[in-house]
Amino acid sequence: MTRLLVTGGAGFIGSNFVHHVVENTDHHVTVLDALTYAGNRASLEGLPESRVTFVKGDITDSALVDRLFGETDAVVHYAAESHNDNSLHDPRPFLDTNIVGTYTLLEAARKHDRRFHHISTDEVYGDLELDDPGRFTEQTPYNPSSPYSSTKAGSDLLVRAWVRSFGVRATISNCSNNYGPYQHVEKFIPRQITNVIRGIRPKLYGKGENVRDWIHADDHSSAVLTILDKGEIGETYLIGADGERNNKDVVELILLLMGQPSDAYDHVTDRAGHDLRYAIDSTKLRTELGWAPKYGDFEAGLAATIQWYRDSESWWAGAKDGVEAFYASKGQ
Ligand code: NAD
Ligand code: DAU
């Protein structure tokens, strides 16, 4: 059995990964999570204590990180400040967690010679025009737009430097937009679903032409396990499931699936510096490592996600009013 340390395992994608690991492997998981506003202990409820140990702590705490790395075989690093809108309001926590936190983990990986997988985002590549026939590949130059994506780009470059300079056994993956259960209500899809449940009209930034490349969080998890198992040290793998859709179409689909008129939403103030389009070419991961997504049908995945939010109001209710008050203060 492998002992995995998962940072940020009480967040959206991290908790989906922990559930996936428990269901599909024999690994033991230790979650290291600071339980910021974005972390939720309830996302790990129901998982057996024999398989999952939870440690509340910060990835910038080098003494704690050192101890936990000494007790593990491999590390998957999800912990981050992850929301673009927050990074436009207050960038500092993004520098602390995404840059200093990743540095702290890399130093521990170097000291203990631990296998390290770094979770990153397609946003490090900037954005594409709507009519650009191309998609992001592992060769696309870095060109981040926001304080969030620039700190993620910085963390990727730290990982590459620690591989080359110190021989750290690391891989990196850059994934597109995830959807599924346990996503915070500040994010686009859960915000609109929970708005409809609460009788609030969904809010679309600008004209809603911006395109995101949607992948189910469980497919992200299977890709990460594949890279951990078969990935080549020092390599970067892009993760995506060919799920491009513009925001207007996604809002209208949510309304349709929730039995509302498809025009029952508001256009609100656009995001500053709003990236136009993301699109992932995941050929390398599919051909070299043999990975394939399972959730091909976005509409079915979205319907299941809507049902999860209907069934899990106690999980998200506590955060909803504060999030909406924050957006309202920004005209969004
Ligand atoms: P999230 O905001 O839902 O979760 C982040 C988790 O990290 C939370 O549980 C939080 O408590 C924890 N955390 C934050 N700062 C910490 C610190 N200093 N020490 C310890 N724990 C800390 O984020 P997410 O959407 O699940 O994203 C997870 C990772 O995946 C991030 O690295 C993000 O850049 C990357 N990613 C996200 C997406 C997406 O669509 N959400 C897509 C591609 C990549
Ligand atoms: O591409 C991967 C990235 O996807 C991750 O690195 C980030 O951590 C994750 O948050 C996500 O970033 P986005 O900025 O694309 O996601 P968000 O859910 O904030 O917004 C998705 C799109 O929807 C974006 O074009 C902005 C728009 N939007 C968002 C909100 C919250 C709206 O139109 N209305 C909204 O209320």
122 is catalytic: yes
> Which of 87, 187, 195 has most ligand 2 atoms within 8 Å of its beta carbon, as the pocket-test mutant?
187
* 148 counts as catalytic: yes
Mean pLDDT of the 161-171 span: 98
Residue 29 Cα to chain centre, angstroms:
19
For residue range 80-138, what is the model confidence (pLDDT) as tens digits?
999 999 999 999 999 999 999 999 999 999 999 999 999 999 999 999 999 999 999 99
Domain boundaries along the sequence of the chain: 3-178+215-239
With contact defined as beta carbons under 8 Å apart, do 251 and 208 qualify?
A: yes
| Active-site annotation holder among 58, 122, 252, 281 | 122
Tens of pLDDT along 1-40?
799 999 999 999 999 999 999 999 999 999 999 999 999 9
The CA–CA distances, whole Å, from 298 to 201, 226, 257 equal: 22, 22, 12
The rounded Å distance from CA 244 to ligand 2 centre is 13
Pocket test for ligand 2, best of 119, 201, 212 (most atoms within 8 A of CB): 212
Superfamily of domain 3-178+215-239: NAD(P)-binding Rossmann-like Domain (3.40.50.720)
Q: What predicted TM-score, i.e. pTM, was given to this entire model? A: 0.99
13 C-alpha to center of ligand 1: Å? 7
Q: CB of 33 closer than 6 A to ligand 1? A: yes
List phi, psi (to 5°) of 233. Answer: -60, 135
For tokens 């995995």, the residue is 4
Q: What is the pLDDT of residue 235?
A: 98
Query: Over the chain, what is the mean pLDDT?
Result: 98
| CA separation, residue 68 to residues 40, 61, 103, 159, 277 (Å) | 21, 11, 15, 19, 39
